[in-house]
């Protein structure tokens, strides 16, 4: 039987640095747990543009369609700001999401106990936080037509179109309900049905899917702006939040900061099942390429490492091993190790990107002893 296949796309900025630490974790599972992966590596984003004149080559796209999972670092940077919109680094990531039809973006926001005091909110508000935002990823205002900038009279006009079909809403709703059944059986759907027709349709379809297929799951509806307020007031009232592409982008970044740092948060983008029954999948940290700290060994690799943990769980059916990796991260944080982004006002000496990865490997060693 062939080993599970994984395509690694380190990307730009700190992407290669954090991905190097993930490679240590992958090697550990192969050497210590007998879990061998068929790993290949390629270019995406600015790195791909520098080499091929495109943010994602056709050959890389074809490879991404073939493997069991894709693990991506980050894309972008000021070096590419002057490029035409069609070849900006982010277009490579958007092409992956669109052509792989990765319609359900899972963004967990979990507050590790060791970091509860690092959040900008009070400990009693965020301690124990464990929510999942399910963001629709392949439609909505980022992809709708018409779009563009044109001239009307003597001024320019920018246009983006919010567009959703019933089937697009229904399938991401199902993803949220299925996840909720494995968690606390509670879903909150967020939109702007008070001012947007697409929001009205969103609410109606989510309710229909619930009533027809998931009546056992508790469902509530909330306007997205009210949801943002409630996430900062009392985030633990939520379990699974399902929302559209634009609001999901905003709300998941807000939820990320409840945990203390974007450097802590992974994500999974899942699509329809392949022949082996597993979903097409791309895993990536929520953070960006952070070009200001690239090459300085200051980056936090935990979000990328936890993205691999999500791959273990959702693509390779290795939930116990995912738990083992997440527990190793918790152990290291409890020991007081911090990268620069996790340093509080009390100061101290942060560990390097490499040192954090080594510490997590050491914690894995201890767990397997």
Domains of the chain in start order, with CATH, are 1-112+267-369 (3.40.718.10), 130-258 (3.40.718.10)
* Burial class of residue 146 in the structure, from the number of CB atoms within 10 Å of its CB (0-12 exposed, 13-18 middle, 19+ buried): exposed
- In the three-class reduction of DSSP (H, G, I as helix; E, B as strand; rest coil), residue 53 is classed as coil
Pairing label, strands 130-136, 144-152: unpaired
Is 41 within 8 Å of 63 (Cβ atoms)?
Answer: no
pLDDT given for residue 347 in this prediction: 56
What is d(CA 279, CA 315) in angstroms, rounded to the nearest whole number? Answer: 7
Beta partners for residue 109, in sequence order: 131
The length of the chain is 369
User: For the whole model, what pTM was predicted?
Assistant: 0.89
Residues marked as catalytic: 142, 192, 225, 249, 253
CA distance 56 to 12: 13
Assign 3-state DSSP to the chain and report helix, strand, coil percentages, each to 5: 50, 20, 30
For 9, 19, 148, 289, the CA distances from 22, given in Å and listed in that order, are 12, 5, 38, 16
User: What would the 3-class secondary structure string for 285-314 be?
Assistant: ECCCCCCCCCCCCCCCCHHHHHHHHHHHHH
Query: In whole angstroms, what is the distance from residue 103 CA to residue 60 CA?
Result: 20
**Is 201 in contact with 164 (CB distance < 8 Å)?**
yes
Residue 304 corresponds to which tokens in the numbers above? 């990328």
Instruction: Give pLDDT, residue 348.
Output: 65
What number of other Cβ atoms are within 10 A of residue 82's Cβ?
7
What is the residue-level pLDDT of the chain in tens, covering all 369 positions? 688 999 999 999 999 999 999 999 999 999 999 999 999 999 999 999 999 999 999 999 999 999 999 999 999 999 999 999 999 999 999 999 989 999 999 999 888 878 877 777 888 888 888 899 999 999 999 989 999 999 999 999 999 999 999 999 999 999 999 999 999 999 999 999 999 999 999 999 999 999 999 999 999 999 999 999 999 999 999 999 999 999 999 998 888 878 766 678 899 999 988 777 788 999 999 888 999 999 999 999 999 999 999 999 999 999 999 999 999 999 999 998 999 888 765 556 899 999 999 999 999 999 887
Where does the chain have alpha helices with state H?
15-33, 46-52, 58-66, 89-99, 123-126, 166-181, 197-213, 224-233, 245-258, 302-314, 319-334, 353-368
- The answer for residues whose C-beta is within 8 angstroms of residue 86's C-beta and 6 or more apart is none
């Amino acid at each position: 039987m062939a080993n599970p296949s994984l395509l690694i796309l380190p990307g730009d900025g700190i992407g290669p640095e954090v991905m190097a630490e993930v490679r240590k974790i992958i090697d550990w599972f192969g050497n210590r747990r007998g879990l061998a992966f068929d790993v290949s590596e390629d270019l995406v984003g600015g790195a791909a543009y520098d080499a091929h004149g495109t943010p994602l080559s056709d050959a890389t796209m074809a490879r991404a369609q073939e493997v069991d999972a894709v693990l991506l670092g980050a894309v972008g940077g000021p070096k590419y700001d002057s490029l035409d919109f069609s070849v900006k680094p982010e277009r490579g990531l958007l092409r992956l999401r669109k052509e792989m039809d990765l319609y359900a973006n899972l963004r967990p926001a979990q507050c590790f106990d060791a970091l509860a005091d690092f959040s900008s909110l009070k400990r009693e508000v965020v301690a124990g936080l464990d929510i999942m935002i399910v963001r629709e990823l392949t439609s909505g205002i980022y992809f709708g037509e018409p779009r563009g900038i044109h001239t009307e009279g003597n001024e320019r006009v920018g246009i983006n179109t919010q567009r959703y079909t019933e089937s697009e809403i229904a399938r991401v709703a199902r993803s949220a309900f299925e996840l909720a059944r494995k968690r606390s059986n509670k879903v909150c759907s967020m939109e702007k049905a008070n001012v947007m027709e697409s929001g009205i349709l969103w609410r109606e379809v989510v309710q229909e899917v619930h009533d027809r297929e998931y009546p056992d799951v508790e469902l509530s509806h909330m306007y997205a702006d009210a949801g943002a307020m409630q996430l900062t007031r009392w985030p633990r009232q939520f379990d699974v939040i399902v929302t559209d592409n634009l609001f999901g982008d905003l709300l998941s970044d807000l939820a990320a900061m409840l945990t203390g740092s974007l450097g802590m948060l992974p994500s999974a983008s899942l699509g329809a099942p392949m022949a082996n029954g597993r979903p097409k999948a791309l895993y990536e940290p929520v953070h960006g390429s952070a070009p200001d700290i690239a090459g300085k060994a200051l980056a936090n690799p935990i979000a990328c490492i936890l993205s691999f943990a999500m791959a273990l769980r959702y693509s390779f059916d290795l939930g116990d091993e995912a738990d083992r990796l997440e527990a190793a991260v918790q152990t290291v944080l409890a020991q007081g190790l911090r990268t620069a982004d996790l340093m509080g006002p009390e100061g101290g000496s942060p560990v390097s990107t490499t040192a954090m990865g080594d510490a997590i490997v050491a914690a894995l060693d201890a767990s397997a002893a």
